[in-house]
């Protein structure tokens, strides 16, 4: 036996400090890497999603419907101002004559406003879609 197995100041064959009395070697300790009592529902739901059972298909369809609803609502939020501006300038022709810094108002509003508007709606959609994905994963893992 090596001196590292017995420890400093100990002699081989002497029991002490958790050593097995018969062999003089330290007792074995059980190491648990994962909890074997993991919830079965998580595994069952994941299997149903992978095998595309009727329940798994219903979960995925619900998730896709939620994403579609979000996309349509935020798409409408983006499209309404973009469609209202030309109608506004058509309905109120005097507004089309207003100039700021030598540039007419319709050019400013139709040429510049859509970019921050679309960027803001895209950022909003991204955050909402990620939240839906987190909720879906949390539901599957529950």
Write out pLDDT tens, residues 54-75.
888 888 899 999 999 999 999 9
Cα Rg of the chain, angstroms: 34
H helix or E strand, kind and range, residue 72: helix 54-91
What pLDDT is stored for residue 7 in this prediction?
54
Longest CA–CA span in the chain (Å) reads 104
pTM for this prediction:
0.60
What pLDDT is stored for residue 72 in this prediction?
97
Q: Cβ of 19: how many Cβ atoms within 10 Å?
A: 19
Of 79, 89, 62, 65, the residue nearest 121 (C-alpha): 79
What pLDDT is stored for residue 131 in this prediction?
95
Q: List CB contacts of 49: < 8 A, sequence separation 6 or more.
A: 56, 59, 60, 140
Residues of the chain with pLDDT under 50: none
């Amino acid at each position: 036996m090596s001196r590292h197995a017995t420890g400093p100041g100990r002699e081989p064959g002497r029991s002490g400090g958790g050593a097995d009395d018969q062999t003089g070697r330290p007792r074995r300790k059980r190491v648990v890497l994962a909890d074997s009592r993991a919830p079965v529902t998580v595994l069952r739901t994941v299997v149903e999603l992978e095998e595309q059972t009727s329940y798994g298909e219903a979960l995925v369809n619900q998730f896709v419907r939620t994403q579609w609803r979000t996309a349509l609502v935020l798409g409408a939020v983006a499209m309404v101002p973009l469609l209202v501006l030309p109608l506004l300038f058509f309905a109120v022709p005097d507004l089309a004559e207003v100039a700021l810094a030598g540039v007419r108002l319709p050019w400013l509003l139709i040429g510049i406003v859509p970019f921050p508007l679309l960027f803001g709606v895209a950022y909003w959609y991204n955050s909402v879609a990620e939240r839906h994905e987190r909720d879906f994963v949390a539901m599957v893992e529950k």
